[in-house]
Amino acid sequence: MTSSNAKPAPRATAKRDLVRAHLLDIIEKSGPGTSLTAERDLATELGVSRPTIRAAIEDLIRSGLLVRQHGRGTFTAPQKVTQEMTGTTTNALAVPPAEGEWTSHVVSFAANPAGPARGTRLGLDADDLVLRIVRVRYVDGEPMSIERIELPAHLVEGLREADLESGNFYHLLRDRFQVTVMDAVQTIEPTVANPEQADLLDCPVYAPLLQIERVTRDTTGRTVEHAHSVYRGDRYRITSKLRFDADSG
């Protein structure tokens, strides 16, 4: 009886390594979003079975180097959207914009009493209204993130869902509501997609995400925003510029 935990035969492993090396060469030489040759054609070209091709492709999908689109085929991963973060800006409006054309779809938009926890977080009484917004953000038409925003409702009276579908949110706060953001405390950590997030972001359940939580203050020192966002780990990255002085170790 063959054990279910038996390791692949050396010949099978060598074939899979051959296929993987071939696919990595294609990925390196092709641009983002390039369609991959059909599995049956790859199998014929490389002289291996389709299950061997499929196993190598699945490995590279899990690594984020390939993506499978239902009904369309397998493609090299699209180029990641890059957001630059700097530690030297004194105004949040000066943070460089992320790449691509950003638009949004508002999923929910409602004002409710803050309650004790949100009231403490936003510097409000428990009975004060908090505007809670959930929106899916798109880059060039592709879902990129889910953003959950909480705002003191009295600061943004007259804000509409349509106002959040395009443009820079902080510019909107400044230009219409005379709320100028100054600084924020932001944390970033990895997580994975739950079923609801996977559905909104069109990605697999348990796909890697970047989770970002931000508390923002304006020029008067008021807390004006609490935001919790998740970004697709296969499509989004953050870069930082570091500056060292002469005494840095």
As a whole number of angstroms, the distance between CA 31 and CA 54 comes to: 21
- Nearest by Cα to 238 from 212, 202, 206: 212
Residue 236 backbone phi and psi in degrees, to 5: -135, 140
Q: What is the token pair recorded at 224?
A: 């004006």
pLDDT of residue 247: 65
pLDDT per position as a tens digit, 43-77: 888 888 888 888 888 888 876 778 787 777 888 87
Most confident of 28-32, 133-137, 185-189: 133-137
Q: Higher pLDDT residue, 27 or 161? A: 161
Query: What is the rounded average pLDDT of the residues 157-164?
Result: 94
Q: How far is CA 222 from the centre of its chain?
A: 28
pLDDT of residue 131: 97
Q: What is the token pair recorded at 43?
A: 């199998």
Please report, to the nearest 10 degrees, the dihedral formed by the alpha carbons of residues 112, 118, 120, 123 taken in order. -60
Q: Higher pLDDT residue, 59 or 113? A: 113
> Is residue 93 very low, low, confident or very high in pLDDT (cuts 50, 70, 90)?
very low
Query: What is the rounded average pLDDT of the residues 3-16?
Result: 60
Share of the chain above pLDDT 70, in %: 82
Q: How far is CA 12 from the centre of its chain?
A: 36
